[in-house]
A and B are shown apart, each in its own frame.
Chain A
Amino acid sequence: MRPRAATAALETAARRDRGRRVEILFAVAVAATALVLFAVAQAAGAAPFGAHAVATIARNGTVLETIDLSAVDEPYTLRFEDESGANVVAVEPGRIRVVEADCPDKVCVNAGWIDAPGRPIACVPHGLTIVVEREGGGADGIDALAR
């Protein structure tokens, strides 16, 4: 192989190589853009992953309070009282529970913290219920608990 011809071949090769790189870069850029758009569309359409949680406190089916648990910064308590009795509800970032009640069985207090669907709290003697709805579900991913 003659040196001159070899040099010319290398120069041509380099030019072609650059052209090829541009093509590849273009293809990659298009694919990447599509992926980003896809991800954005998915995120917009689907629920945010386990982020947003809302607690609903009701008495005899009538909603008393709706609390955006993801917007809670400082823990606080709420007191719900009527002629049947009183329940004290503790609210913390992302979770909620009954801490005190003057009902006889204390089932509501013993239920502990809840932070996702599937484990609603009920104080039967006072007709009080607390449910949490969380976009994307809770850690164990259940919709209800057979118990």
Chain B
Amino acid sequence: MIAPGRQKRASRRPFRRARALPLPYKTGKALTRWRAVAALACAAALLVFACAGCADGAGSATSSTSATATRSFTSMATGMTLTVHASNQQAADDAAEACEDRVEQLDALLSPTGDESQIALLNNAGGTVTFLSDDLQPLFEAACSVAQETGGAFDPTIYPLTSAWGFTDGNHRVPSDDELAALLPRVGFERLRADASAGTVVLEDNAQVDAGGVAKGFAADELRALLAKRDVTSALLDLGGNVTALGTKPDGSAWRVGVADPAAPDRLAGTLELVDATASTSGTYQRFFVDGNGVKRHHLIDPATGYPAESDLASVTVVGACGARCDALSTALFVMGSDRALDVWRAQAEGGSGSFEAVFVDEGGNVLVTGGIASAFSPSADFADRVTEVRR
């Protein structure tokens, strides 16, 4: 499509100019010769480009990202798709398979039930000291750190509440006010005492842990580490809508990650360009049920009230380096609402180890984008005039 247009321009221009130029002959001839030389030079340059293009396509077996493995499966009660680029097909396939195996392991370790579940082991320990697999320590660290930072808006000990609402097993129901009031004293992250050096966790006051709010983000961190060990530098991990970009695409461009429009989740509010970052979204549209009175009950329970959070937000997408942290933060910021969420964002120095960025879509369909990621966010047409950049 491009070539004919360029040819046309190329063939018209020299003639027109040659006729129009009222120059003395010698100069004119010198000019056309110069033009011919220039054209030849351009042609040579284009041929070199073209050949470089050929070499890129044909000889890509030698580049570090010539093979692609795409793997799709269900785990952690959601659909997951991994795209892994590697130097050869075997390496890409093996890496993707290793990722799937690791996710399956983590699913078994982190699900609320099951023989292998470390969470079940902990929740049924009756307040005694429980030794957990070492590799789960970063999950507890991230969870407790975000809980502290957000005043408990994200709380890893929310299990009694999510369970009462049926979000842990899909048997949705509306608990009574009394039931929730009785459960609230068991919820509170200060009841979870993790000792990283000893590898132990203790739950006090009949507290119980729900790893659901950090599991996918934590899995992304584990897969990043696994892929780095295999020298994979380009991959995209879609863990049930928790999206982690490893490096860039093989052509060097950023990964393009859509942010769903919470009012119509199959459409986009905009697109984020990501390199080496995770985007975690929490929204009311993700998991909900409609109760007997026709009231929509979503899964983002406010640990302070026991009820689905009443937020001015419809969705929060948190972007940062640590997947577990992004995952937990997206839940917390949703529960907190936009004003308090922005306070949490401002509390982190830009570029600091705990810094993150966010895209908020409020109930009215307006978008707030934090300064650090504003240039990486392109709103879709419907949202073009509804985006506000928030400065620190």
Chain A residues engaging chain B, CB cutoff 8 angstroms: 13, 16, 19-21, 23-24, 26-28, 30-42, 44-46, 56, 58, 60-61, 104-105, 111-112, 117-124, 127-131, 133, 137, 140-147
Contacts and interface: CB of A to CB of B under 8 A. Distances in A.
A28 B283 CA distance: 59
Nearest to A30: B43
B292 interface: no
A16 B243 CA distance: 67
Contacts of B376: none
Contacts of B271: 140-142
Nearest to B239: A144
B288 to A, nearest CB: 11
B18 interface: yes
A76 B83 CA distance: 28
26 contacts: A20-B18, A27-B35, A28-B39, A32-B7, A36-B3, A38-B46, A38-B49, A39-B3, A45-B56, A119-B266, A120-B79, A120-B81, A122-B74, A123-B74, A133-B70, A142-B257, A142-B268, A142-B271, A143-B249, A144-B257, A145-B257, A146-B243, A146-B279, A147-B241, A147-B283, A147-B286
A35 B7 contact: yes
A31 B39 contact: yes
A45 B238 CA distance: 28
Majority secondary structure, A binding face: mixed
B114 interface: no
B40 interface: yes
B81 A20 contact: no
Contact of B238 (A16, A130, A144): A144
Given A27-B40, A33-B43, A42-B50, A146 B272 contact: yes
A34 B46 contact: yes
Interface of B: 2-3, 6-7, 10-11, 14-15, 18, 25, 28-29, 32-33, 35-36, 38-40, 42-44, 46-47, 49-51, 53-54, 56-58, 70-74, 77-81, 83, 100, 170, 236, 238, 241-243, 249, 255-260, 265-266, 268, 271-272, 279-281, 283, 286, 317, 380
A44 B54 contact: yes
A127 B104 CA distance: 13
Given A34-B43, A140-B258, A143-B256, A44 B57 contact: yes
Contacts of B7: 32, 35-36
B255 A146 contact: no
A41 B3 CA distance: 11
A109 to B, nearest CB: 13
B36 A143 contact: no
A36 B286 CA distance: 50
Contact of B10 (A31, A117, A120, A121): A31
A61 B72 contact: yes
A20 B15 CA distance: 10
B3 A143 contact: no
B14 A27 contact: yes
